[in-house]
Amino acid sequence: MALMDRLRGNAVVAQSGGPTAVINSSACGIVQEALRHDVIDAIYGANNGILGIVREDLFDLRAESADTLEQLRCTPSAAVGSCRYRLADLATDRARYERLLAVFRAHDVRYFFFIGGNESMAIAQRVHRLAAEEEYELRVIGVPKTVHNDLAGTDHCPGYGSVAKYLATSIMEAGRDTEAMYAFEPVTIAEVLGQASGWVAAAAGLARRREGDAPHLIYVPEIPFSLDRFLDDVREVHRRLGRCFVVVSEGILDGPGEHTGEAAAVGTFGPRQLGGVASYLRQVVAREIGIPCRYNRLDTCQRNAVHFASRTDSDEAYLCGREAVRQAVAGQRGVMVTLVRESDRPYRCTTGLARLEDLADGVRQLPRHFMDVAGTNVTEALRTYAGPLVLGEVPLRMGTDGLPEFARLQRRPVPRKLPVFPGKTP
């Protein structure tokens, strides 16, 4: 691939998939860096991610004040807008990919910065390929983002360190509750994000500094789940400590495992329909072991908790955004910015590049050796890996009312140039 520089044109920034506490740091890095390069003229945000491009629903990021842009670094969720708009491969969804390119052409977009996870990188790769096929010069750069930490090609993903820091802290706190109340409410089950991978659940293991600390048991989707073994595990910890704090990935009943009887039925119909895995397991513990059990489910709160986000994570998210622009201006395309760990102690990390075509549209699973032999607790390998990612706190802007102030973009619309997309959109 020959590097072409001095490609003049406009840029589009899009966010995709589930929000994180630091995805806006990446957006901030992109915009602040793009403002420094005179080959980039307009900088557009895509309302609701890829869907905003299909709908030609763009807004002017240059119209935002420098202060608002800077404030993105302490603003959770996806301020540019996000979506879960599925686009299959080029053969299946060609019309919609053509539409994306048509919108880019209409607005002279030559730089496309796409912040997202696995599915988004697959889409970015297809946009890149189509542009190459049609000989439309477009620099597509992926910026990694996912609390699930399941992107290939990068040491870790922006978003993961912050969910790790917040969850580990919340479980230290809730674990102290179980410890104080053990005589009456000895078991607590916390359900955390992770349909297909256990990275988030494993991060909660950072809370356990000493034997006896919560969490006492962790269940991840990568390790087959057995209800009988789960009950035995809870009984054993409860007998030994008088209490038991359990962390479960939301997807543990979706994977392989011995889901006999009721659990099989729950798995079949989807535990989400029955109120989630923790709610289900809580009832099983109460019935089978006969001890009261509480449960909590932090759901979207955990992935947006900028109020206790990791500074390391936030800074790396920002760095990935800046680097995406620098690489694009230098001529790169069809790549994703990656995080490359240089050392654990002291922790040092820099950026690299991975070719989008080399990233499988799959899920990088938690390595088996990050969990112990029993499969219910994390190992030193996990601690060495995840520990540095939670260092430092993100400075917030606090309002006079004692609550954080988040940025809100004014979203000045970019006039449409194309007819409405005839295809179906949500």
**Residues of this chain, 25-84, that bind a second copy according to CB under 8 A:** 48, 51, 75-79, 81-84
Span 290-319, contacts to a second copy by CB under 8 A = 294-301, 303-308, 310, 312
User: Which residue, 31 or 172, has its beta carbon nearer to a second copy?
Assistant: 172
Per-residue x/- mask for a second copy, residues 129 to 158, rule CB under 8 A? Answer: ------------------------------
Q: Which is nearer to a second copy, 121 or 298 (CB)?
A: 298
List the one residue out of 154, 156, 136, 141 whose CA is nearest residue 325.
141
- Sign of CA pseudo-dihedral 246, 248, 253, 258: negative
Binding residue for a second copy, selected from 273, 290, 422, 424, defined by CB under 8 A:
273
- CA-angle at 187, arms to 185 and 189, nearest 5°: 125
Write the DSSP assignment of 299-365 as a string of letters: HHHHHT-GGG-BHHHHHHHHHHHHHHHHHHHTT--SEEEEEEEEETTTTEEEEEEEEGGGS-SS-PP
# residues contacting a second copy (CB under 8 A): 73
Cβ–Cβ under 8 Å, residues 328 and 36: no
Which residues lie closer than 8 Å to 154 by C-beta, 6 or more apart? 144, 336, 338, 339, 340, 354
Q: Give SS3 for 175.
A: helix
Nearest to 139 by CA among 330, 321, 357, 358: 330
**Cβ proximity of 89 and 96 under 8 Å:** no
Q: Quote the Cα angle for 348-383-23, to 5°.
A: 60
Q: Is 94 in the site for a second copy (CB under 8 A)?
A: no
Q: Which is nearer to a second copy, 295 or 318 (CB)?
A: 295
- CB 274, min distance to a second copy, A: 7
Q: 202, 279, 197, 291: which is closest to 247 by C-alpha? A: 202
CB of 2 to a second copy, least distance (A): 38
- The overall longest dimension of the chain from CA atoms, in Å, is 70
Q: In whole angstroms, how close is the CB of 279 to a second copy at the nearest point? A: 3
Cβ pair 137, 109 in contact under 8 A: no
Distance CA 372, CA 359 (A): 28
Min separation Cβ 67 and a second copy, Å: 18
For a second copy, the closer of residues 41 and 393 by Cβ is: 393
Which residues, numbered 206-265, are part of the site for a second copy (CB under 8 A)?
206-207, 209
Shortest approach of a second copy to residue 239 CB, angstroms?
16
Question: Interface residues for a second copy in 110-129 (CB under 8 A)?
Answer: none
For a second copy, the closer of residues 21 and 349 by Cβ is: 21
In this complex, which beta carbon is closest to a second copy, that of residue 272 or of residue 326? 272
State which of residues 107, 126, 165, 322 lies at the interface with a second copy (CB under 8 A). Answer: 165
Of positions 45, 276, 321, 334, contacts a second copy by CB under 8 A? 276
What is the CB neighbour count within 10 angstroms for residue 408?
A: 11
Minimum CB distance to a second copy, residue 353 (Å): 27
Q: Which is nearer to a second copy, 375 or 385 (CB)?
A: 385
Site for a second copy in 379-418 (CB under 8 A): 387, 390-393, 398-399, 401-404, 406
**Residue 2 or 402 having the CB closest to a second copy:** 402
CB 264 → a second copy: shortest distance, Å?
19
Q: In the complex with a second copy, which residue's Cβ is closer, 264 or 291?
A: 291
- Least distance from a second copy to the Cβ atom of residue 298, Å: 6
CB of 301 to a second copy, least distance (A): 5
Adjacent-strand bridge partners of 226: 258
User: What's the rounded Cα separation, in Å, for the pair 121 and 48?
Assistant: 16
Q: Tell me the closest approach of the beta carbon of residue 333 to a second copy, in angstroms.
A: 27
Of 160, 280, 370, 385, the one binding a second copy by CB under 8 A = 280
Name which of residues 166 to 195 contact a second copy (CB under 8 A).
168-170, 172-174, 176-181, 183-185, 188, 190
CB 174 within 8 A of CB 278: no
Residue among 36 and 176 whose Cβ is closer to a second copy: 176
CB of 282 to a second copy, least distance (A): 8
80 vs 359, which CB is nearer to a second copy?
A: 80
Between strands 348-355 and 335-343, the pairing is antiparallel
| H or E element in which residue 126 lies | helix 118-133
Distance separating alpha carbons of residues 424 and 331, to the nearest angstrom: 35
